[in-house]
Amino acid sequence: MNKKKLLTLSLAASLALSATAVSANTAPTQETTEKVHINKETKMPDMIYGKLTTPSNKSAKEIVFTYLEENEELYKFGKKELSNFKIVSQEKDDLGFTKLKMQQMFKGVPVFGSVINAHVDQDGVLNSVSGNLTPELYNKQSLKKGATLKADVALEKAKADLNKKIGSTPELESEVTPELVVYFQDGNANYAYSAEFEFLYPEPGNYQYFVDAKTGEILDSYNQIHEAKPSTGGQGITGSDSTGTGKGVLGDTKTFNTLTNSSGSYLVDRTRGNGIFTYDAKNRTRTPGTLWLDSDNVYNAAYDGAAVDAHAYAGQTYDYFKDVHNRNSYDGNGADLVSTVHYGRDYNNAFWSGSQMVYGDGDGNTFVPLSGALDVIAHELTHAVTDTTADLIYQNESGAINESMSDIFGTLVEFHFNNNPDWQVGEDIYTPNIAGDALRSMQDPTLSGDPDHYSKRYTGTGDYGGVHINSGISNKAAYLLANGGTHYGVSVNGIGNDKAGAIYYRTLTQYLTPNSNYSHFRVSTIQAATDLYGASSAEVASVKAAFTAVGVN
């Protein structure tokens, strides 16, 4: 997302016409190199990488801000806007890079989805700037004057629209606080109030609303039920840590951590992060429900199965991210994992509500209890990881990448624990009377009607722009990267699950940003592989081939 003033305006203009990476060198006295990737859709840079600056003892913040100042023409923003960038976080990763996550601001107001990640190495050299910025906001007449509508009025308009959409008034899980943002869509920029409504009754929802801060018009809304916000701890149960046993949904016996006191044994695991807590909704639609309590620490009743799996598989998902990627729970800070089973009656779904996991029992025909599949639980908890890292917007291509990341890590967790692993999603709990099928196949997405090539992507408005449908494109790429194969005449050498997982995890946590599309996904994954294995490595070659095989160039 940056470029140098030393690059002439004519070079910037030529870059804007390019759809592929362009190399450029700065003044010959500097040992710097730059490659600029231009996003095909926005015609703006979404990745600049290489040795972007010379070694420096300055702070990472100074290095990045100086670089952005020298590249204002490329990004089409003024110096006044540049000074308003807000540092969201600064942290050092496992490779020694200092990562700055920065939010674009306009006159002190955040620009929704406009986030960049910058990486400075141990020598004080800026190596990359990744993400999409919104250009030329200072020229937008719609932003010359600020908001005129009060936040509470905007909130009531959003509530009225939501009530009409779902047919009744939802019972909100938490108070909604509107936030003033700049909302950019289809070339139009507006001050808008952003509001998020999380509810489970009368139906599950986590709706994101944008209300014009001048007219009160609903600019956009979508259900982001798979996204997550950190939940709060403090369950308050005391007792001794112990180990329970029980039978899962499919009849297999598991051991798992519990907490015992004079009342009995609770499905509480205090050994992982801030804890894992499993509740019983008792076929109602209120959450979290009742903390699961057993008399003898042996959970073998048929009704126990859904809770046994939810509790044990949440622990395994935690262990995968902690042991393999050194991530302490989904937020990296040990957030507690809360699950509710037996939600509703014959409810054919499982989801992350925005603060916890919720599992239906299924109707016995389409699904059995959905907590019975490790890949489903890992899929949903990966949405929480995504929300606390890349925060991919749950619409269109960014939403499809969001879904695909969950499928990828759901599958990798299943392989990691050798839990009857395959490249299908949800096969263990889907259509129990039909053998061999699944919700989705990553090996062959077309089995469930999803595209396996970018040229076949869905471009309609259903499924929030195809968030589940178009996930098949990158699911196929992930399968090829791990296993190898030839697709659409392109041969890919497989690199195995472990290396593929390391690359995708770094891509998700270091380079993807809220508005990432498939073009940015490709270049981000290449950069992640480059960090891990080197620019000339076989792993980087395989990443490039995998994306090319599914038509993402």
Catalytic residue numbers read: 380, 468
φ, ψ of residue 550 in degrees (nearest 5): -105, 15
With helix as H, strand as E and coil as C, how does 306-374 read? HHHHHHHHHHHHHHHHHHHHCCCCCCCCCCCEEEEEEECCCCCCEEECCCCEEEECCCCCCECCHHHCH
Please give the Cα distance from 96 to 420 (Å, whole number).
36
**CA separation for the pair 421, 479 (Å, rounded):** 13
Residue 465 and residue 476 in contact, taking contact as beta carbons nearer than 8 Å: no
Say how many CA atoms lie within 13 Å of 474 toward its Cβ: 27
According to DSSP, the residues that pair with 294 across neighbouring strands are 265
230: cis peptide before it, omega within 30°? no
How many residues are recorded in the chain?
Answer: 553
Count CB atoms within 10 A of the CB of residue 186: 4
Long-range contacts of 236-239 (CB under 8 A, 24+ apart): 237/261, 237/266, 237/268, 237/291, 239/266, 239/268
Report yes or no: 38 and 45 within 8 Å, Cβ to Cβ.
yes
- Burial class, 381, CB count within 10 angstroms (exposed 0-12 / middle 13-18 / buried 19+): buried
In angstroms, the CA 313 to CA 9 distance is 55
Residue among 405, 368, 255, 229 at smallest CA distance from 315 = 255
- With beta carbons less than 8 A apart as the criterion, state whether 38 and 15 touch: yes
In terms of DSSP H, where are the helices of 417-514? 462-466, 471-483, 497-506
Q: Is residue 128 within a helix (H) or strand (E), and if so which, with residue range? A: strand 126-131
CA distance 307 to 299: 9
User: Letter for the amino acid at 173?
Assistant: E
Q: CA-CA distance, 364 to 343, in Å (whole number)?
A: 14
Query: In the numeric block, which tokens belong to residue 69?
Result: 């100042």
159-163 long-range Cβ contacts below 8 angstroms, 24+ apart: 159/197, 161/209, 161/218, 161/221, 162/197, 162/205, 162/207, 162/209, 162/221
Q: Which residue type occupies 481?
A: L
* DSSP strand pairing (98-106 vs 109-120): antiparallel
